Structure 1
């Protein structure tokens, strides 16, 4: 067993995880555009042994995903100049993830140095983020547990569900370096994201919701509230506040 296998906590999320979900053939076309920037449809088709129409369909989809952009070849005599394709900065996930990780580390350091309660502020920020993510992704309110797993997978955490008692192993972390430097901040942001998603879906967020950073070799461990004992939800708390306000008004 290698020494790296004994390290507590998850492994870094691969940079390619930050790209949209692409088919193997579409990834091959994107890689060809990266390698031969700028390039034409017929040239890509010849190098990859694909029909030009097939290449065109993949390129149109990559343009729609903002991974490839078009330009035109300088005019050479008569006729329409050829369309050229080149990768956008978003097609370089390594560069994008480095910039994102650097910004996240700087923000975590700022919170840790200036906040009177870094953990509470970090969790509150994560909670707001979780609400936005749940709204944007159209999470299924009928199955909050599955919604959390799907969202964590899309964020690059590689979650493995061990059931309620076993919790969820988070085997990757998109901000691992920042989390190791500022665990009380970054890990609370991640816990807040989960809490915000559950709140947005009207699910339980009370006792049982917890995140154990670097809990074991190869993973952090996330625990969700037991659905059999839901406790008060965000909507229950809002209703209670409204009832209290109404009672105060009627007196």
Structure 2
């Protein structure tokens, strides 16, 4: 599932299970009140309210007041803003389903890293000496990440909370494995050191180290 014709930063607004549920409900039903959206997301109205406000301020939703039917403030119906249609041809929904199946299989973290390493090597292509500052962003972009490479790999706009809202760090672990595999396939002596995952910010960092444990020379971020 993906919103069409919107800049990447707009996806940050729905990188949350509650907001995804709200967007899906509106895509399926056209319009809904705040209580209806809260019910669809399985949360209290007071929990849903700030999410709806944030989505409205970001331009994802538009609110329309219902005709007054008596005393008091008229209820508001919310709709997806024009252009925010959910693509039926995008594969993010399938990726989410596969991630759910993977979570239920309770994979070993080491197995996840191993799978990531294999995929990273595959995406680099024929093994050989290659510039990792060129290769890593290209490889990670194929998986939906935006990456900046220095003495660490900084991942922005991570798809983790979109693909696996309940276990986003599982996707982050796969990404760390992909970095390891890409480095090996590119003939680099760099290794993955510590890595910090911040799914709520859609941002992760993966430290790069020489075999001695020293960071590569370069500008620190």
Q: Which has the higher contact order (CA 8 A, sep 6+)?
A: 1
Q: TM-score, normalised by structure 2?
A: 0.49
Q: TM-score, normalised by structure 1?
A: 0.44
